[in-house]
Structure 1
Amino acid sequence: MDRTFVMIKPDGVQRGQVGGIVSRFEAKGLKLVAARFEVLPESRVIEQYQEHLSKPFFPSLKSYIRGGPCFLMVWEGRNVVAIVRKMIGATNPQEAAPGTIRGDFGIDIGRNVIHASDSPESAAREIGIHFKPAELFAYTRVDESVVYEY
C-alpha cells in the first residue's frame, strides 16, 4: 500500500477541526498508520518547506506553522497521495471546491488548514522528516476486504 504525509496546520487544530478531518479520511477507507500533536521545531519547518525558502512569504509561513501545535499523520491506501490531494482541495481555499477540506474549512490562502504530500516522492521525504520507521504501524483494518477489490 502507498503512504502519504498529512499535517493539520495550527489554524485547523486551534479551530477544532482535527476530528472532522480525520473522520473524512477514515470514512473514505484510508488507514491511519501514524499520528501525533507537535509544535514543529524550526529545523523541521525549514526541511519540510525547503522549496519555499527563497520566497517572500516563507518567514510568515514559518511563523504560522510554528505558532501552535500541528497534527501530523501518515495515511495508507491505494493511490493515497492522489486521493488525499483531491479530498483537501486547491491550495487557495477560495478556489477549493465545496466538499473538500479547504473548501469547507478554509478561508484564506495563508491559513489553509492542511498540508498533504503532492507526490509519492514528496510523501516518502516528508514522512522521513517527521516520523521514524518504528512510529509507523502496520495493521489490517477490519473493513479492508470491502474497501478494496483484491
Structure 2
Amino acid sequence: MQETLFIIKPDGVRRGLVGEVLRRIERRGFQLTRMELRQANKDILAQHYADLLEKPFYHQIETYMLEGPIVVGTFYGSDAVKTWRKTMGVTNPAEAELGTIRADFAQGPDSNGDMRNMVHGSDSVESAQREIAIWFGED
C-alpha cells in the first residue's frame, strides 16, 4: 500500500475538471487522504521542481503553475504511484494514450512549446514522500 501526491493544475481547476479527476482516482479504488484548494507560490514550486530549476523551460512551468488555484492532495492504495502515473498518461498530452486524463483533457504543446498537461503525480514512492512533505509538512 502506498500514498502518493496528486495536483490538479490551474487549467484543470479553471475548466471545471476537478470532479472528473477525483472520480477517476476513486474509481480506481483509491482512498483520498488529503485535499486542498490553494494558490501555489514561487518558494513551494522551487522546492517541488528542484530538479528542474536550471532547465530552460522552468520559467514556463512556474508561470503555468501560478496562473490560478490548484488542487493538491494525496490518496492511498495498492501500487498507487504506478497506477496513478498510468491513469494520468505520459507528460506530453499529444503522446498520451486515449482514455488517460492527459489524452482526454490536457492541452498542448502549443506553438510556443507550452504544455498544459493538467495533472501531476509523483514518479516514485520516494518522490511521493518528498512531495507530500513539501506540500503538507509531513514529519
TM-score category, normalised to shorter length = over 0.9
**Partner Cα distance (2:104, 2:8) in 1:** 14
Unaligned runs of 5+ in 1: 135-150
CA apart distance, 1:104? 0.4
CA apart distance, 1:133? 3.9
Q: Is residue 2:135 matched to residue 1:130?
A: yes
CA apart distance, 1:67? 1.2
Secondary structure (helix, strand or coil) at the match of 1:98 reads: coil
**Partner Cα distance (2:58, 2:137) in 1:** 26
TM-score if structure 2 supplies the norm length? Answer: 0.93
Specify the alignment match of 1:116 in structure 2.
121
CA apart distance, 1:41? 1.6
Q: Give the alignment of 1:1-150 within 5 angstroms.
A: 1-109=1-109, 110-133=115-138
CA apart distance, 1:132? 3.2
CA apart distance, 1:107? 2.2
**Partner Cα distance (1:62, 1:106) in 2:** 17
Identity across aligned pairs (percent)? 40
Q: Considering only aligned residues, what root-mean-square deviation do their CA atoms show, in Å? A: 1.1
Residue type at the aligned position of 1:44: I
Secondary structure (helix, strand or coil) at the match of 2:76 reads: strand
Query: How many residues of Structure 1 are paired with residues of Structure 2 in the alignment?
Result: 134
Unaligned runs of 5+ in 2: 110-114
4+ residue runs over 4 A deviation: none
Deviations 1:68-102 (A, max 9, x none): 00100101001100000000001000000110000
**Partner Cα distance (1:50, 1:132) in 2:** 17
Secondary structure (helix, strand or coil) at the match of 1:94 reads: helix
